[in-house]
Amino acid sequence: MKRLLAAFAIVPAFASPAAAQEANVPDAEFAFEEIVKLGPAVAPGETPKGNRNIIPITGGTFEGPGFAGEGIKGEIVPGGWDWQLIRADGCVEIEADYFLKTDDGAVINVVNKGTLCFPEPGSAAAPARTHPVFEAPLGKYDWLNRSAFVGTLELADPTNGPAVKIRFFRMK
């Protein structure tokens, strides 16, 4: 417990409340981008929570600067899925669970959640944001386990076939 309390004692006790608040404002740095290839949707149907869709993840690629000068690059392992819930208000809750395999052989689990709400006719679309969580092996990619991330989600270029582009930003 003492260790946990010490972790929260980042801002010195003598700092003003305004300085303490400013010191805790998050900033983001680009980590990597994925092009996630998708299979045809499977629609299990209506549930008590709403309508469900399963979108198979069939592959793809990822690449970026990573963290602290250590780049990250590789392929998305086929066999993952995006479990979607279409709510009564028309928004879609997404929860994707899949694996990355780096070009040096590390396997990393990604669970990426978000809510997509479509704009009212005539209004601007809000950007789609996600909150990914990574489980990477200890070592070179451990920074994924020790950081918070925000993702952006959009359709990929049509030349990639049915796919989405996800960009991950490490919060600092």
Mean pLDDT of 138-154: 96
**Better-scored residue on pLDDT, 10 or 90:** 90
Question: Which of 88, 37, 32, 33 is CA-nearest to residue 59?
Answer: 37
- Going by pLDDT thresholds of 50, 70 and 90, the confidence category of residue 26 is confident
pLDDT for the residue 9: 47
Instruction: Give buried/exposed letters for 94-131 (b at 16+ CB in 10 A, else e).
Output: bebebbbebeeebebebebebebeeeeeeeeeeebebe
Mean pLDDT of 2-7: 46
Mean pLDDT of 24-28: 86
Indicate yes or no: pTM above 0.95. no
Percent of the chain with pLDDT over 90: 69
Any idea which architecture 27-171 has in CATH?
Beta Barrel (2.40)
Question: What average pLDDT does the structure give for the chain?
Answer: 88
Distance CA(36)–CA(132), nearest Å, equals 14
Distance CA(143)–CA(136), nearest Å, equals 8
Task: Assess whether pLDDT exceeds 60 at residue 115.
Answer: yes
Q: What is the DSSP letter of 129?
A: E
Task: Assess whether pLDDT exceeds 80 at residue 3.
Answer: no
Using CB atoms within 10 Å of the CB of residue 164, give its burial: 0 to 12 exposed, 13 to 18 middle, 19+ buried.
Answer: buried
Distance CA(142)–CA(137), nearest Å, equals 6
pLDDT for the residue 120: 77
Name the residue ranges covered by the structural domains of the chain: 27-171
Q: Token pair for residue 21?
A: 């608040």
